[in-house]
Amino acid sequence: MQLSLDTDQQAIVGAFDAFFARESSPVRVRAAEPTGFDASLWRALIGVGGPGIAVASELGGGGGSLLDAALVAEQQGRRLAPAPLVEASVSLRMLARCADVGGASIARVLEGAEVLTLALHRSQAGVAHLVPWGAVADLAIVLDGDALLLVQPTSRSPQVGLGAEALGDVSTGDPLVVELARGTDATVHLERALDEWRVLKAAALVGLAGEALALAVEYVRQRHQFGRPIGSFQALAHGLVDVATAVDGARLLAFEAAWALDAGAADRTLASMAFAFAADTAAKTTACALHCHGGYGFMAEYDVQLYHRRAKSWAVVHDSVRGELAHLASMLWGA
């Protein structure tokens, strides 16, 4: 089994690491609050092909794999980039699978003319609630009853979040762009998209956790107490080692899940495992990093609190770790 990245994958990581370091500084991240959307960053991200990297080249995308998209998502997570990369990537791939009816919208999104997102839950009474990026999206994919719809939100209702993902309720009564699928086909398309969302969001959470860990390690090296770096104290060192091990495991699981979906594996459990473990790891890692900073960790001027808040919000928009584990259990052992 080859666990290291090949030359092309290393180039992807290097390019997007440099891009997000340049375009998504902590200053830019703070400036994008409270909605968590940076329109200029989104245009730049479209320009370098981020959202379309895993879309077929004949449809205007980069022709890459879901694993390539996961590598980009990890770099987004490292810099907390305030743009709908994961949701747009997943939605574009769904439109590509429905290219006979949704293909025209792909070009508009890849040109940067429209922001595209995905409702993670079925609509209720004609409203999809807490849609990530629903407050700023020009197009949203929503499962309404047994129909999978691409709608143009006009009556969206912004919701208060934790400074990220521009949450908004989207009405299915908004102008219909196209019906993508109906019945069993609609459910299959949404389930596939949600599995891809789990994988890419897991990768983003891994990047987030890894960078929070790096912030903590740097701080405990620099901060001295009793004439020694506080990182030399076992109470801190042991906790950091534990979360460092978990971050490595979460990264491996997320990439394995991406590879499995690319390979057409029928087993959907890896995507659920990757999301649940990454979400749990991100929450624990950022909490550890925050407490390593002591009282400073809770202060707005320290970057670590940005990671801690997003570790909480990014995952729970879909489900809690407990809820995802229940979903995993139902796939493994039935209701």
What digits encode the pLDDT tens for the residues 193-220? 999 999 999 999 999 999 999 999 999 9
Summarize the confidence of residues 264-274 as an average pLDDT.
Answer: 90
For residue 320, being part of any structural domain is answered with yes
Q: Is position 78 within any domain?
A: no
- The answer to whether 114 touches 242, Cβ cutoff 8 Å, is no
- What pLDDT score does 1 carry? 52
SS (H, E, C) 259-279: HHHHCCCCCCHHHHHHHHHHH
Containing structural domain, residue 288: 187-333
For 71-83, what is the mean pLDDT?
98
Domain contains 170: no
Q: What is the CATH number of the domain that holds 294?
A: 1.20.140.10
298: in domain: yes
Q: Which of 54-63, 227-236, 312-321 has the lowest mean pLDDT?
A: 227-236
Is residue 269 included in any domain, yes or no? yes
pLDDT (average), residues 129-133: 94
Residue-level pLDDT at 3? 73
* pLDDT confidence of residue 160: 77
pLDDT average, residue stretch 95-117: 91
In angstroms, the CA 222 to CA 132 distance is 37
Average pLDDT, the chain: 93
pTM: 0.95
Q: How many domains does the chain have?
A: 1
144, 165, 166, 149: which is closest to 157 by C-alpha?
Answer: 166
Asked, for residue 159, whether it belongs to a domain, the answer is: no
Among 262, 247, 268, residue whose Cα is nearest residue 203:
247
Are 205 and 284 within 8 A, CB to CB?
Answer: no
Helix (H, G, I), strand (E, B) or coil at 107: helix
SS3 71: helix
In a domain, 329, yes or no: yes
Tokens of 253: 């699981």
pLDDT of residue 266: 75
Note whether residue 278 is domain-resident: yes
